[in-house]
C-alpha cells in the first residue's frame, strides 16, 4: 500500500509469527472495554461493524458477542485473514473477512457499515488522514468510526523506551499527539466526538531479543504497572495522560452525519 511506513512482507511475517492463543485479556481488555462501551453506546442488535486491518483479530469475536453486532473484517494479508476467520469459527461466530486493499474500489462495501474500527493501523502511514478517508467511504449515513493506537506521542514514556529497546520498530510509526490524531480525522472529513489518551502503561517491543533490552523493557513496564495497581487499590482508575497513557483513542463521525455533542476523554 502506498504511503505506508511498513512493507507488505513485514505484515506477512508478523502474522506468521503470531500465536493463535493470543487473547484480549487483562488490563488492556479493561481499557478497551471502556472505550467500546462508549463507542457502541446505544447500538442495536443486528447492526454491522467492520474492522480495518483485521489480521488475527482478537476484537471481532468480542464485539459480536458483547454488543450483538454482525461483524466483518478487511486485511490485505492472506494469513491475517485466515487467522481472523479461524478466531470467529472457534467461538461459533460468523463474519465476512475480506482479503483486500483498503484503497481499492471496494464498491460492494461502500456505505454498508454502522461502525468502522481500526486498532494500531493509521499510525503506520505517512499521512494518517488517507486511510481515515478511505474508511469513511464504508460508513453508512450516521455511522461512527473508532481509531485506537499505541501512545505514539513524541514526549510519552512509550516512545522514550521504544527508542531504547526497538528503534527500528519505532521508525514504522508516525509520531503524533492526541491533538494531532483528532486533526487527522478532521482533515479526512470527520467531526471528532472524543479524542485522547487512555489507560496507564507501556506497550513496547524489542527490535532484537537481547538480554539488555529485555531487562530495560521488563523494568520499565513493571515500574509503571506498580504505580497503576497502587492507584487501583485505593479505588482510582488512572486517567489517560500524555506522558503515561497506554494508548490513544478517537471516536468520530462523518461531517454529513447528525451532530453528536463532543465528550471529554475518559
Q: Which CATH number describes the domain made up of 8-149+177-197+246-254? A: 3.40.50.150
C-alpha span between 260 and 114 (Å, rounded): 15
Instruction: Please state which of the ranges 25-29, 57-61, 92-96, 106-110 shows the lowest mean pLDDT.
Output: 25-29
Instruction: Render pLDDT for 155-209 as a digit per residue (tens, 0 to 9).
Output: 999 999 999 989 999 999 999 999 999 999 999 999 999 999 999 998 888 887 7
* Predicted pLDDT at 10: 55
Query: What burial letters (b/e) apply to 76-90, b meaning 16+ CB within 10 Å?
Result: bbebbbbbbbebbee
Confidence of residue 17 (pLDDT cuts 50, 70, 90): low
Indicate the SS3 state at residue 75.
strand
Averaged pLDDT of the chain: 88
Quote the pTM value.
0.87
Domain ranges, ordered by start, for the chain: 8-149+177-197+246-254
C-alpha span between 18 and 212 (Å, rounded): 24
* Predicted pLDDT at 263: 44
C-alpha span between 229 and 233 (Å, rounded): 6
Instruction: Render pLDDT for 76-129 as a digit per residue (tens, 0 to 9).
Output: 999 999 999 999 999 999 999 999 999 999 999 999 999 999 999 999 999 999
* Predicted pLDDT at 13: 60
Percent with pLDDT over 90 in the chain? 68
- Tell me, letter by letter, the H, E, C secondary structure of 152-214: CCCCCHHHHHHHHHCHHHHCCCCCCCHHHHHHHHHHCCEEEEEEEEECCCCCCCCCCCCHHHH
Amino acid at each position: 500500500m502506498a504511503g505506508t511506513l511498513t512493507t507488505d512482507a513485514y505484515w506477512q511475517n508478523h502474522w506468521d509469527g503470531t500465536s493463535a492463543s493470543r487473547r484480549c485479556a487483562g488490563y488492556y481488555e479493561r481499557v478497551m472495554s471502556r472505550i467500546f462501551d462508549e463507542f457502541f453506546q446505544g447500538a442495536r442488535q443486528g447492526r454491522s461493524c467492520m474492522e480495518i486491518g483485521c489480521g488475527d483479530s482478537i476484537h471481532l469475536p468480542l464485539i459480536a458477542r458483547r454488543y450483538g453486532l454482525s461483524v466483518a473484517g478487511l486485511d490485505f494479508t492472506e494469513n491475517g485473514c485466515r487467522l481472523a476467520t479461524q478466531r470467529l469459527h472457534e467461538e461459533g461466530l460468523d463474519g465476512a473477512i475480506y482479503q483486500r486493499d483498503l484503497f481499492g474500489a471496494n464498491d460492494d462495501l461502500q456505505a454498508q457499515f454502522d461502525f468502522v474500527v481500526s486498532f494500531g493501523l493509521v499510525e503506520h502511514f505517512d499521512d494518517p488522514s488517507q486511510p481515515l478517508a478511505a474508511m469513511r467511504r464504508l460508513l453508512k449515513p450516521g455511522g461512527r468510526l473508532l481509531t485506537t493506537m499505541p501512545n505514539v506521542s513524541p514526549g510519552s514514556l512509550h516512545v522514550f523506551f521504544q527508542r531504547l529497546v526497538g528503534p527500528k520498530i519505532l521508525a514504522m510509526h508516525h509520531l503524533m499527539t492526541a491533538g494531532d490524531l483528532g486533526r487527522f480525522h478532521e482533515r479526512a472529513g470527520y467531526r471528532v466526538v472524543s479524542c485522547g489518551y487512555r489507560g496507564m502503561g507501556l506497550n513496547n517491543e524489542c527490535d532484537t531479543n537481547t538480554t539488555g533490552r529485555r531487562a530495560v523493557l521488563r523494568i520499565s513496564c513493571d515500574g509503571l504497572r506498580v504505580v497503576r495497581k497502587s492507584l487501583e487499590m485505593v479505588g482510582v482508575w488512572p486517567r489517560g495522560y500524555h506522558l503515561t497513557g497506554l494508548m490513544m483513542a478517537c471516536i468520530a463521525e462523518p461531517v454529513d452525519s447528525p451532530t453528536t455533542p463532543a465528550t471529554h476523554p475518559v
